Structure 1
Amino acid sequence: MASHVFALIIGIDQYKSSHVWNLSSCADDAENMKRWLMDDLHVPRSNIRLLVDDKASKRAIEDAFMNHLVSNPAIESGDAIIVYFAGHGSSVAAPDDWCNGHPRRADILCTYDHCTRTGDRRVSGITDWSMHAMLAELAEAKGDNITLILDTCFSPSRSRLSDRLRSHTRWTQSTRLTDDDLYAGLWRNALSHKTPASTSRFHAPAQSHVTLLACKDGERAMEKEGGRFTCALLDARHALPLHSTSYGDIIDHLELPDGQTAVCVGRNAKRVLFNGIPFTSDPHYVAVSVSEEDVRIDAGEVHGIVEGSELSLHSHNVRGSLNPVLASLRVFEVHPTWSLARTKQPQAMQKLVDAGWARITRWNNRVPFRVQLKRTYFTLSRWWRLRQRVPQHGESVGGITLARVSQPEAADLSVRRRCRDIVLERHDTLIGRNCSGRINIPCPGPDDDVQAIDAAARFHFHLHRKNSTLSCPLRVQVSMALHRVDEATWAPIGPDLIDNGRAQLTLDSERPNVYALVLQNRSSHDLWPYLFWMDAYGYAISSLYHPTPSPSGPPLKKRSTFTIGTGGAGSEVLAFRFVGDGKTSSGFLKLFLSSAYVPMGVVEQGKQGGSSPLPTSDVPDEPKEDELWDSEVACITVMQSSGMEPRLT
């Protein structure tokens, strides 16, 4: 099933030929597009190929198009593919028989080496005919979910192109190109794609892709502190819910200077942007239902909710799409798997929709996470700014309550700021006894310090959470056993590797290092298990097993066993990698148990880009007073066998 995004992003400011004037912001536009895809749409870095300036020659672009897109086995049919170009465009008179003799001119994307001589020919850039042939070949291999974005122009009106405007216009002349140059530069399969064309083939509707252009034919694509079109396109994410907005609607929304009108063409112009592929559910949102007096939230004690926890209310739970806060909520009644909240603005209750989504903004943890800030001479100013942002008394920072202390013996974490990173000394007994007591985290930016501390605080919060109100805790009645998996049968083999809550695993270079977790339920309750991996080196929390609602009920039946890691879909085998540069690497298996099904995505921490949306459940009509929850934890230490090289992540 198609679910990924891949992109080829090109930005050219500096041109090789002295006859082509340089631009000033195309490379920045390309970087900003890449940043949007990675930060907002969670596209993995490996899915994006960026070519800038001298790396964007004609040959390099065509090679990247083939290797990164057409021949990439990771791209499935229907995956979203984006080709972005910011740089000069150009136009020349077309040969008489150019593409069946229909167009009067050939439009060109000017590559870095455009118009430079190679042998007895000049580089003709990428012509409209070539690009259409390239995209037709790509669509045949990977489907038609292709978006071509061009922040350039091809034939601006000469009467309106003054010397002052020329330096800010993404267009150049190509008077030196001959008919032979154009034919010699055609894409390899272009001759088999002689489809009829309008006067400007880049502006012609295509079956294979949707094209977004910076301007109409005869207008100019302007840049000033960024391409006007690219800036407007990126600004649209702050004004439109992209997950429900079509290409055409986005273009209609853009506000550009006079003389520049954005264009959208293509058979699929009425589709939602990128066919909706990058706009997946964010597991950190929980379902809610709104009544006249309160809001019922599909999250409770098992998620870490307590009385006084605060949430923001939203209309949807989609990543990368505008999702403004409708109201702020405060929890006043908490149950094991659900809770009740009221808005801080009672008059706003009448305006709220019947159902929606909420995100936790303040956990209201009773015991604050205690931080000691160690002063360093060389980073005194950074230390002082950090000191101002970490409160002396318990206050919420990033959702978790922090408190600054002066002595390490009173702290959960000591922080020392250095030039490009921070050193964290962990004083927590569970982490300190099983993991490295000191780690370095890169923090080049001024906000990275607080984010690193907040990640540590959230990690600490979820690691230690358990149900202390049960007379007979579920963690006593449910045991975890870790076994190696036989690579032929996928069955657990060998002894239980967990001893007194700890397991030491030696990576074996001679066989797969895969495992299964066997849960034994000795209680009288059917239970839903949720398994997370808590990486003590990077403070990431990721889901290893999340059950799906089923008519057969909870998978962990009373007085029975259940295996996580059977090798099938949804229960992949467990693999532990060596992380860091020391002799051992440690983390924690955190198991949550609940007698009622609830989505548990709120526990995840770190970049979860590309993960499939977690299943959701309907909020129950009536409360269930017999709901139970609990958790247990096991420390996993990974060691290298002799002869194995460390695998750093």
Structure 2
Amino acid sequence: MMDFAPVFALIIGIDLYQVHNPLNGAVADANAFECFLKERFPSSQITTLLDAQATRENIKLAFERLRNDPAIQKGDAIIIYFAGHGGRAPVSDDWMGWKPQDSQIEMICPVDIGIRSGLAKTTIGGIPDLTVAIWLNGIAREKGNNITLILDCCHSAGANRCDEETAYVPRRISNPPDISLDDYNIWASDPETKNARSTGVPLAFVGQNQESHVLLAACGQIELAFENDKRGLFTRGLLDVLRQSDLRNLTYTSLIQNVRIPKFNQNPQCQGRYRDRVVFNAHTTRGNLSLIQGFKGNGMIVLKAGEVHGIKESSHFAIYRDGSSVSSTPLCTLIVKTIMPTTSNLSTLDRSDFSDVPSPFYAREISKELI
């Protein structure tokens, strides 16, 4: 067992929505993620909510238990994983607090979204990002900010159409119910609501000042998250990297850079002030020690990571022949010349011949001082 803080997890997976279209892979994803935690962290304390268990009320209570659980000490790792539908809903004109620019707010969708309940037959809504952020801020105040939020769902659908390939199913509800009065009351009673979303952050689930947790999201704010062959593309790719990596050296940024998804328009995101920490470990911040694969083609050296993965122009990469040789002397050092959304073109420092660079190759980002 590795030298990590104790791990506590809340895992939510929903296929069988009570009102809306079902999914086929969210529960399988949740089960697979739970298995991964049990394989790597034998002492994990895991709460799992699947299908009918994953009501809005049960999800709320599970967040509250994480905040109040005396077994969780400050700094222990807390992982919250959600696989299911996401959606967007308009913010009421009567709400006088913070509003997004387009007056639409993102949400995760519990299993009972759209059900009419209680004597008043009130429609149960989704759980808006602002509500999730407030809940997470509450956990962080009590238990510290070693919190990871993983979302395998669509966060918005307004600018997208469904994929024409019917084998790929988007995880989204197009027209969810309006935001509930309960959520407006939660927002109004929280003294930090005005800070719960930070200007310029593309995903609203990041939370107050980006400090309460690290967010790993299946796609960008105006993209769709897909499932195929009864599994989510993001969770499958995420677990592939986690299982193949030395978690003692893997940062959140490195993790998301190495997730591979066979869809051009689904780009995983990593957000949060502490995204350069080692995964699930608040006490360790290290450089990017994991390797990113690349290849040569059409006279170019291509790195399989780009702008959405945090690659910057003029970044330097040490080049290795294979993934097991990172401890040896690198073959050479290359520099980023041009950046695309999901790939980057590299060049030699002195524009010399790059025939010695193998294909495929493996690259590790290094600081300029090490050159």
Q: TM-score, normalised by structure 2?
A: 0.68
Higher relative contact order (CA 8 A, sep 6+): 2
Q: Pick from 80, 91, 99 the counterpart of residue 94 of structure 1.
A: 91
Q: Secondary structure at the match of 2:151?
A: strand
Equivalence for 1:82: 79
Equivalence for 1:114: 113
Is residue 2:263 matched to residue 1:260? no
Q: Distance in 2 between matches of 1:35 and 1:66?
A: 24
Q: Deviations 1:156-213 (Å, cap 9, x if unpaired)?
A: 36553146559711100235425647526x4795465232635741256621111100
Is residue 2:10 matched to residue 1:8? yes
Equivalence for 1:223: 227
> Deviation at 1:217?
1.2
Q: Percent identity?
A: 32
Letter in 1 for 2:214: V
Equivalence for 1:29: 29
1:144-155 aligned at under 5 Å gives the runs 144-155=145-156
In structure 2, relative to structure 1, the CA distance for the partners of 1:16 and 1:277 (3 Å cut) is farther
1:602-641 aligned at under 5 Å gives the runs none
Q: Distance in 2 between matches of 1:10 and 1:190?
A: 25
Q: Distance in 2 between matches of 1:27 and 1:77?
A: 30
Letter in 2 for 1:240: S
> Deviation at 1:74?
0.5
1:388-407 aligned at under 5 Å gives the runs none
Q: Deviations 1:266-305 (Å, cap 9, x if unpaired)?
A: 1111111011789xxxxxxxxxxxxxxxxxxxxxxxxxxx
Equivalence for 1:568: none
Q: Distance in 2 between matches of 1:237 and 1:149?
A: 13
In structure 2, relative to structure 1, the CA distance for the partners of 1:24 and 1:178 (3 Å cut) is same
Is residue 2:218 matched to residue 1:214? yes
Asked whether the equivalents of residues 56 and 127 of structure 2 are also in contact (C-alpha less than 8 Å), the reply is: yes
In structure 2, relative to structure 1, the CA distance for the partners of 1:30 and 1:187 (3 Å cut) is farther
In structure 2, relative to structure 1, the CA distance for the partners of 1:43 and 1:189 (3 Å cut) is farther
How many residue pairs get matched?
A: 277
Q: Secondary structure at the match of 1:65?
A: helix
Q: Pick from 245, 249, 255 the counterpart of residue 240 of structure 1.
A: 245
Asked whether the equivalents of residues 124 and 182 of structure 1 are also in contact (C-alpha less than 8 Å), the reply is: no
Letter in 2 for 1:259: N
Larger Cα-atom Rg:
1
Asked whether the equivalents of residues 80 and 275 of structure 1 are also in contact (C-alpha less than 8 Å), the reply is: yes
Asked whether the equivalents of residues 160 and 223 of structure 2 are also in contact (C-alpha less than 8 Å), the reply is: no
Q: Distance in 2 between matches of 1:157 and 1:86?
A: 20
Asked whether the equivalents of residues 2 and 78 of structure 1 are also in contact (C-alpha less than 8 Å), the reply is: no
Q: Distance in 1 between matches of 2:188 and 2:30?
A: 27
In structure 2, relative to structure 1, the CA distance for the partners of 1:245 and 1:88 (3 Å cut) is same
Q: Distance in 2 between matches of 1:7 and 1:37?
A: 9
Q: Distance in 1 between matches of 2:145 and 2:172?
A: 29
Asked whether the equivalents of residues 80 and 146 of structure 1 are also in contact (C-alpha less than 8 Å), the reply is: yes
Equivalence for 1:143: 144
In structure 2, relative to structure 1, the CA distance for the partners of 1:54 and 1:115 (3 Å cut) is same
Letter in 2 for 1:131: V
Letter in 1 for 2:70: P
> Deviation at 1:49?
0.2
In structure 2, relative to structure 1, the CA distance for the partners of 1:224 and 1:190 (3 Å cut) is farther
1:121-520 aligned at under 5 Å gives the runs 121-156=122-157, 158-162=159-163, 165=166, 168-177=169-178, 180=181, 182-183=183-184, 186=186, 190=190, 192-195=192-195, 197=197, 198=199, 200-202=203-205, 206-225=210-229, 226-256=231-261, 257-275=263-281
> Deviation at 1:43?
3.3
Q: Distance in 2 between matches of 1:148 and 1:99?
A: 25
Equivalence for 1:500: none
Q: Secondary structure at the match of 1:154?
A: coil
Letter in 1 for 2:227: E
Q: Pick from 57, 69, 72 the counterpart of residue 69 of structure 2.
A: 72
In structure 2, relative to structure 1, the CA distance for the partners of 1:36 and 1:121 (3 Å cut) is same
Asked whether the equivalents of residues 130 and 190 of structure 1 are also in contact (C-alpha less than 8 Å), the reply is: no
Asked whether the equivalents of residues 156 and 222 of structure 2 are also in contact (C-alpha less than 8 Å), the reply is: yes
Asked whether the equivalents of residues 16 and 116 of structure 1 are also in contact (C-alpha less than 8 Å), the reply is: yes
Equivalence for 1:49: 47
Asked whether the equivalents of residues 134 and 190 of structure 1 are also in contact (C-alpha less than 8 Å), the reply is: no
Asked whether the equivalents of residues 219 and 269 of structure 2 are also in contact (C-alpha less than 8 Å), the reply is: yes
Equivalence for 1:424: none
Q: Deviations 1:8-27 (Å, cap 9, x if unpaired)?
A: 0000000111xx10000111
In structure 2, relative to structure 1, the CA distance for the partners of 1:43 and 1:33 (3 Å cut) is farther
Q: Distance in 1 between matches of 2:244 and 2:16?
A: 33
Q: Deviations 1:337-372 (Å, cap 9, x if unpaired)?
A: xxxxxxxxxxxxxx89xxxxxxxxxxxxxxxxxxxx
Asked whether the equivalents of residues 105 and 200 of structure 1 are also in contact (C-alpha less than 8 Å), the reply is: no
Equivalence for 2:301: none
Asked whether the equivalents of residues 133 and 189 of structure 1 are also in contact (C-alpha less than 8 Å), the reply is: no
In structure 2, relative to structure 1, the CA distance for the partners of 1:159 and 1:125 (3 Å cut) is closer
5+ residue gaps, structure 1, are 279-323, 327-350, 353-649
Q: Distance in 1 between matches of 2:97 and 2:204?
A: 10
Q: Distance in 2 between matches of 1:183 and 1:81?
A: 26
Letter in 2 for 1:117: R
Letter in 1 for 2:257: D
Q: TM-score, normalised by structure 1?
A: 0.40
Q: Distance in 2 between matches of 1:11 and 1:272?
A: 26
Asked whether the equivalents of residues 245 and 273 of structure 1 are also in contact (C-alpha less than 8 Å), the reply is: yes
Letter in 2 for 1:114: I
Asked whether the equivalents of residues 90 and 172 of structure 1 are also in contact (C-alpha less than 8 Å), the reply is: yes
Asked whether the equivalents of residues 81 and 150 of structure 2 are also in contact (C-alpha less than 8 Å), the reply is: yes
Q: Secondary structure at the match of 2:173?
A: coil
Q: Distance in 1 between matches of 2:235 and 2:206?
A: 18
In structure 2, relative to structure 1, the CA distance for the partners of 1:178 and 1:9 (3 Å cut) is closer
Q: Distance in 2 between matches of 1:11 and 1:188?
A: 29
Q: Secondary structure at the match of 1:139?
A: helix
Q: Secondary structure at the match of 1:275?
A: coil
Asked whether the equivalents of residues 124 and 181 of structure 1 are also in contact (C-alpha less than 8 Å), the reply is: no
Q: Distance in 2 between matches of 1:153 and 1:208?
A: 22
In structure 2, relative to structure 1, the CA distance for the partners of 1:48 and 1:178 (3 Å cut) is closer
Q: Distance in 2 between matches of 1:277 and 1:37?
A: 19
Asked whether the equivalents of residues 94 and 105 of structure 1 are also in contact (C-alpha less than 8 Å), the reply is: yes
Equivalence for 1:564: none
Asked whether the equivalents of residues 155 and 220 of structure 2 are also in contact (C-alpha less than 8 Å), the reply is: no
Q: Distance in 1 between matches of 2:62 and 2:114?
A: 21
Asked whether the equivalents of residues 88 and 176 of structure 2 are also in contact (C-alpha less than 8 Å), the reply is: no
